[in-house]
């Protein structure tokens, strides 16, 4: 039997910190601006000390009754004082285990341990512990691990350039930040001139006000541009430290992934419990044939602001066949493709938005001629992302589709500006949907949606598919128009 690390007592104690509201209220009530206030507070300090002592004692009691046991087949965590909660997790059902040791826990020799199974929803972790070295060593003896003698050789080396590119492309708002920063840097002077003229045309009185206000616009534009650049750069640095020192090892049953510079994390994952592999790209990555490989597995990437990365940015042509065992396939062509005749499903809305921007400017300029230059400036700046979105959606039309081979299914689709190549076992499909409107029914096209197993059932949708081909795909997978075919 083992206990958690004594630092857990503080966590249990903090849950009852609200009890200090009573000493705080007493202190406020007895506070006076006189020489006797301190004496009065000291005189009643026994109550404050009693409450604080009660909080610490309760934390100790909670910690003492939190116990970790092992049997030959399962790990057991017993928690609670008056209401006991016993959690039993068989070793064979563990999908992933996580070991985390932030830099501030290193001097205390404490480690965060989590393990997760395919049970549960919404990425909830089945067991979370903070343990010392002795308990940690005992736990890891029972956790699944790779066989050093059967390790897969030839895995792509995760170098610093790969992590650097990953941090660049997946830092928050990379494209948006650069665009907004360009808007303010390049458009600052233009905006100043246009806005100043527009405001000065209103009235002679507002001209005086605008002159004072508009003088601040270039400074504000510069500030906002710098703000977005700094925000992205901070996100970039966070990702660099978060995913630095990336290491991956695996055999045919398990894989071990470790990353992090200041906050090191190590995952052990059961490959048979991976729901699907997701090769992600944006348009720039697709142009250069680069991909970031993610996986969907219970417990992996469940922490806040963590992506379930299996391989940071790598060139798709460099992904070898040795990675097939962990679900990474490359060079597979679509058996069933999106129909070019269904171009409207992809481009209708982007084209309408793009086409309406300039007429909207003309309409505004006609109704409010004083703001013509201002509306033109905004229209031009809106056209840039609209045209970019059209290119993305056209590329999605030409690349989306489905491939079936062996016991696998590969789906190529897009979500907003990101491209996905999803690979999974056919048996892990939980739902197929064929969606048609009246026009699509008349033309024989449809949208096909597929859901896979997982704590969160995510939808992957391919538009402009041939309806007969979708029915054929469903039949090969054991479905008939969404209903499971009886064996």
Burial of 279 (0-12, 13-18, 19+ CB in 10 A): buried
pLDDT band (50, 70, 90) for residue 378:
confident
pLDDT band (50, 70, 90) for residue 96:
very high
pLDDT greater at residue 40 or residue 192: 40
Cα separation, 402 vs 399, in Å, equals 10
For 402-422, how does the pLDDT look when each residue is reduced to its tens digit (9 = 90+)? 999 888 999 999 998 899 999
Kindly state the percentage of the chain with pLDDT values over 90. 38
According to the model, what pLDDT value does residue 210 have? 45
According to the model, what pLDDT value does residue 215 have? 41
Output phi, psi for 415, to 5 deg.
-130, 110
Class of domain 332-487: mainly beta
DSSP bridge pairs for 384: none
According to the model, what pLDDT value does residue 261 have? 87
According to the model, what pLDDT value does residue 320 have? 63
For 122-162, how does the pLDDT look when each residue is reduced to its tens digit (9 = 90+)? 667 889 999 999 999 999 988 888 888 888 776 766 777 78
pLDDT greater at residue 54 or residue 48: 54
According to the model, what pLDDT value does residue 156 have? 67
370-381: average pLDDT: 79
Place of tokens 């070898």: 320
According to the model, what pLDDT value does residue 185 have? 53
Burial of 412 (0-12, 13-18, 19+ CB in 10 A): buried
Is residue 297 scored above 80 in pLDDT? yes
Is residue 333 scored above 80 in pLDDT? yes
Going by C-alpha positions, the residue among 444, 435, 439, 429 that lies closest to residue 479 is 429
279-285: average pLDDT: 90
Name the pTM for this structure: 0.79
Tokens representing 43 are: 């005189």
Those residues whose C-beta lies under 8 Å from the C-beta of residue 283, and which sit 6 or more positions away, are 388, 391, 392, 395, 417, 419
pLDDT greater at residue 252 or residue 359: 359
For 80-92, how does the pLDDT look when each residue is reduced to its tens digit (9 = 90+)? 888 889 999 999 9
Cα–Cα distances in angstroms (integers) from residue 285 to residues 38, 168, 171, 280, 318, in the given order? 67, 11, 14, 9, 14
The answer to whether 339 touches 465, Cβ cutoff 8 Å, is yes
Kindly state the percentage of the chain with pLDDT values over 70. 76
pLDDT band (50, 70, 90) for residue 42:
low
Tell me where in the chain the CATH 2.30.29.30 domain(s) lie. 332-487
Instruction: Please report the sign of the dihedral spanned by the C-alpha atoms of residue 311, residue 315, residue 321, residue 324.
Output: positive
- Please give the mean pLDDT across all residues of the chain: 81
Q: CB atoms < 10 A from the CB of 264, how many?
A: 16
Question: What's the maximum distance between 2 C-alpha atoms anywhere in the chain?
Answer: 90
298-306: average pLDDT: 77
Cα separation, 336 vs 479, in Å, equals 17
According to the model, what pLDDT value does residue 354 have? 94
According to the model, what pLDDT value does residue 54 have? 81
Cα–Cα distances in angstroms (integers) from residue 439 to residues 351, 436, 445, 466, in the given order? 19, 8, 9, 13
According to the model, what pLDDT value does residue 307 have? 81
324-341: average pLDDT: 83
Is residue 180 scored above 80 in pLDDT? no
Is residue 207 scored above 50 in pLDDT? no
Place of tokens 């064996």: 487
Those residues whose C-beta lies under 8 Å from the C-beta of residue 212, and which sit 6 or more positions away, are none
Is residue 69 scored above 60 in pLDDT? yes
pLDDT band (50, 70, 90) for residue 40:
low
Q: How far is CA 463 from the centre of its chain?
A: 24
pLDDT band (50, 70, 90) for residue 212:
very low
Is residue 209 scored above 80 in pLDDT? no
pLDDT band (50, 70, 90) for residue 225:
low
């Amino acid at each position: 039997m083992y206990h958690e690390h004594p630092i857990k007592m503080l966590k249990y104690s903090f849950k009852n910190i609200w009890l200090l509201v009573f000493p705080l209220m007493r202190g406020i009530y007895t506070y006076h601006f006189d020489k006797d206030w301190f004496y009065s507070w000291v005189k009643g300090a026994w109550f404050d000390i009693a409450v604080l002592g009660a909080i610490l004692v309760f934390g100790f009691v909670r910690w003492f009754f939190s116990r970790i046991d092992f049997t030959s087949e399962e790990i057991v965590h017993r928690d609670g004082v008056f209401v006991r909660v016993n959690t039993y997790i068989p070793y064979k059902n563990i999908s992933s285990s996580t070991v985390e040791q932030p830099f501030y826990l290193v001097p205390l020799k404490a480690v965060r341990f989590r393990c997760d199974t395919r049970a549960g929803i919404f990425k909830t972790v089945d067991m979370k512990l903070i343990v010392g070295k002795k308990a940690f060593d005992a736990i890891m003896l029972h956790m699944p691990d790779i066989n050093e003698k059967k390790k897969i050789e030839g895995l792509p080396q995760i170098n610093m350039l790969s992590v650097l590119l990953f941090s660049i492309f997946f830092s928050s708002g990379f494209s948006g930040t650069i665009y907004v920063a360009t808007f303010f840097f390049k458009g600052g002077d233009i905006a100043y001139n246009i806005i100043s003229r527009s405001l000065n045309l209103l009235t002679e009185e507002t001209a005086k006000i605008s002159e004072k206000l508009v003088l601040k616009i270039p400074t504000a534009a510069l500030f906002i541009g710098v703000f977005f650049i700094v925000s992205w750069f901070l996100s970039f640095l966070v990702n660099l430290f978060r995913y630095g020192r990336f290491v991956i090892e695996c055999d045919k049953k398990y894989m071990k992934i470790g990353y992090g510079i200041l906050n090191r994390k190590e995952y052990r994952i059961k490959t048979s419990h991976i729901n699907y592999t997701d090769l992600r790209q944006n348009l720039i990555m697709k142009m250069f044939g680069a991909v970031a490989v993610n996986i969907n597995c219970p417990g992996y990437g469940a922490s806040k602001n963590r992506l379930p990365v299996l391989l940071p940015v790598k060139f798709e042509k460099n992904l070898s066949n040795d990675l097939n065992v962990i679900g990474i396939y490359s060079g597979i062509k679509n058996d069933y493709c999106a129909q070019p005749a269904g171009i409207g499903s992809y481009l209708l809305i982007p084209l309408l938005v793009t086409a309406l921007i300039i007429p909207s400017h003309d309409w505004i300029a006609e109704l409010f001629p004083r703001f013509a230059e201002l509306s033109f400036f905004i229209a031009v700046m809106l056209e840039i992302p609209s045209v970019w979105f059209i290119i993305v959606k056209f590329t999605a039309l030409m690349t989306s589709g489905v491939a079936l081979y062996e016991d696998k299914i590969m789906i190529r689709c897009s979500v907003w500006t990101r491209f996905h190549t999803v690979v999974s076992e056919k048996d892990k499909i939980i739902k197929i949907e064929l969606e048609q409107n009246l026009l699509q029914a008349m033309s024989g096209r449809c949208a096909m949606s597929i859901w896979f197993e997982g704590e969160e059932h995510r939808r992957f949708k391919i538009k402009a598919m041939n309806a007969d081909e979708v029915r054929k795909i469903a039949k090969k997978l054991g479905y008939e128009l969404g209903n499971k075919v009886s064996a």
